[in-house]
Amino acid sequence: MYRTSSDRRFYKIKKDIRGAFMTLVLRRDHYSDISITEVAELADINRKTFYLHYDSIDDILTEYADDLSADFMNYLYGQETLSVESLFDWIGQHAEEKEFFRKMAAEDRIMPFTDKCRHVLRDYLQAHMIAEEGQTARSQKLVASYTAAGLAQILVEYASGETDLDRETLIRETRRVMENGWEPVPAAEEKKAERPKEKEEAGHGPSAGKAPVTGIPDRNYENDARMEHINAMQDYLSLVRDPVTSRNARQMVEIQNRRIRELMEAAWEIPFYRERFRRSGTRPSDYRKAEDLYQFPVLTREELGSWLAAELSGEAGRFSAWHIHTTSGTTGKALRIPFSPNENAWLTANWLRVLALPGYNPFTGKTMSRTLLPGQEGRDMDSMIQRFGILRRKAMKDSDDMQELIREINAYRPDYLYNYQEILAGIAAYARERDIRVWKPQYYTATGAPLTEETRALLTEVFGPGLTDSYGLNETGSCIVRLPGKKYYQVNSDTHVVNVYNDSLTGPALTGQAVITPLFKTELPVINYVSGDGMESYQKQGLRFIRSVNSRAYSAGS
């Protein structure tokens, strides 16, 4: 955290500290080599004075990014009209900081600048865009968000010297894309087209099958499906991608509270959940924070399965653009869980965040993961963009041959490895028994079930210290993460609520049954879902943390 003051002496010292910090960034090989003592000495102050202004070295960088974004915002709103040239002119006003930007980019510490630049541009564009004929507010917002993301990346790359294109070429190409690269989404496409009568009579219309139980929006999800990858990237950028600390805990709580309100308002429009509101004697306005969800009925596996089965057996084609996820069925009959394209984009974004939390860059690193289809051969899942070193990943073979799997890992040398716990533990046990060396990725995750301390020790011995323990369900997505070297799990509180109930599921507890609510799933919600797993938890700064997970400790309740 950094502090502010209108006192001139305070401002002068802070300016000296920032100047010393930027000087040391240019002198040192690595940002992490800079110490508070060195900054204080170069600024001609003592450590105590430093702590009157900042809590850490990172706070200097945070304040600098905040000040830069504020300057950018003032500059934009001071222009009569926005032009591509004016954006590059603003960068020219900070030319003396180019080497500092270049160094920060080389050490992958430029994300705060990119994020803040993108947010300022998005808000400006949304406030000043003139809707084209037939363009809805929803598509207008999407255009503003996507345009801002592209412009921010171009500006940051130019400022940090990451591009070899000259200023005029960048301006010309950027202007061309902005002028010709967008087409409005007609309002008519955002409404579901009426089906011809003959299709109804042929068994394809609303009268075919059961009537909808939920009342999900009657709209064309094909548009959402086309934009899913873009939406996933935007959702990822909007998530809190740093481990929970005292600095971002309040932000996490505020986001969580807002999304709880939005979720419950959406649920009120769904007959299945309207009945549950009636049963609890509550309304959406009664739900303002995570603890309020204890008022709402819990959702068992059987209740969820019955409701979704009725949905999926209804009108033919209603879910043609949705993703249908299937549970393993290890605790009973497998469930089919529909995720809309927007909900699935959030699932993807959240998983990318899980990969990024320990420090891995999912866009530039190499990921090796479990295969998704039985009998599928391991393969590089690359496209043109991945051949340029972006989003590289490989699927492992669906095989029980541990020696072959070890050979795959050693040949690909992934930066991040994840697979089912039984597979990784099997590889580790096989390698240890035969004294076979296995490539140690920077980070790795064993999915499918909570880890015992014995399995954790085995994996760490064979694969190294980068174990990132992620827990989640097919019904909810990953919701808690234990980072390397930590003794606790943090909850992904900006996308989930994880509440803990007593054994009888009648009220709150610190140790008991885990009940999970994904906050991004608003079209076919899963609210207060009984996971069947036990958790020991504690609360701090308004957020829940998990000490331990007991897999299927309450299987009878699942």
- Compute mean pLDDT per 10 residues along the chain, 558 residues long, and list them: 80 90 86 87 91 88 85 81 80 82 75 80 74 58 78 80 77 68 38 37 35 54 83 86 90 93 94 95 95 97 94 83 82 85 93 91 84 44 50 83 95 92 94 96 87 92 94 92 94 97 95 97 96 94 93 52
| pLDDT at 413 (0 to 100) | 94
Q: For 132, which DSSP code?
A: P
Bridge partner list, 361: none
Q: For 467, which DSSP code?
A: B
Spatial separation of the C-alpha atoms in residues 446 and 232, rounded to whole Å: 23
Residue carrying the six token digits 């930007």:
101
| pLDDT at 224 (0 to 100) | 83
CA dihedral sign of residues 184, 186, 192, 196: negative
372 and 360 in contact (C-beta within 8 Å)?
no
CA dihedral sign of residues 28, 466, 485, 534: positive
Cα angle, residue 262 at apex, residues 257 and 265 outer, rounded to 5°: 125
Spatial separation of the C-alpha atoms in residues 400 and 99, rounded to whole Å: 51
Secondary structure of 368-435 in the HEC alphabet?
Answer: EECCCCCCCCCEECCCCCHHHCCCEEEECCCCCCHHHHHHHHHHHCCCEEEEEHHHHHHHHHHHHHHC
Contacts 24+ apart (CB under 8 A), 454-462: 455/421, 455/425, 458/425, 458/428, 458/429, 458/432, 459/424, 459/425, 459/428, 461/428, 461/432, 462/427, 462/428, 462/431, 462/432, 462/438
Helix (H, G, I), strand (E, B) or coil at 175: helix
CB atoms within 10 A of CB 323: 16
501 and 507 in contact (C-beta within 8 Å)?
yes
| pLDDT at 212 (0 to 100) | 44
Maximum separation of any 2 CA atoms in the chain, in Å: 84
CB atoms within 10 A of CB 57: 19
Domains of the chain, start order: 8-180 (1.10.357.10), 257-339+468-558 (3.40.50.12780), 359-454 (no CATH)
CB atoms within 10 A of CB 1: 12
What sections of 43-83 are H helices per DSSP? 47-53, 57-77
What sections of 186-247 are H helices per DSSP? 197-199, 222-226, 228-238
CB atoms within 10 A of CB 66: 13
Q: For 204, which DSSP code?
A: I
Spatial separation of the C-alpha atoms in residues 510 and 508, rounded to whole Å: 7
Spatial separation of the C-alpha atoms in residues 532 and 557, rounded to whole Å: 6
Spatial separation of the C-alpha atoms in residues 322 and 195, rounded to whole Å: 19
CB atoms within 10 A of CB 263: 23
| pLDDT at 290 (0 to 100) | 97
| pLDDT at 218 (0 to 100) | 58
Give residue 85's identity as a one-letter amino acid code.
Answer: E
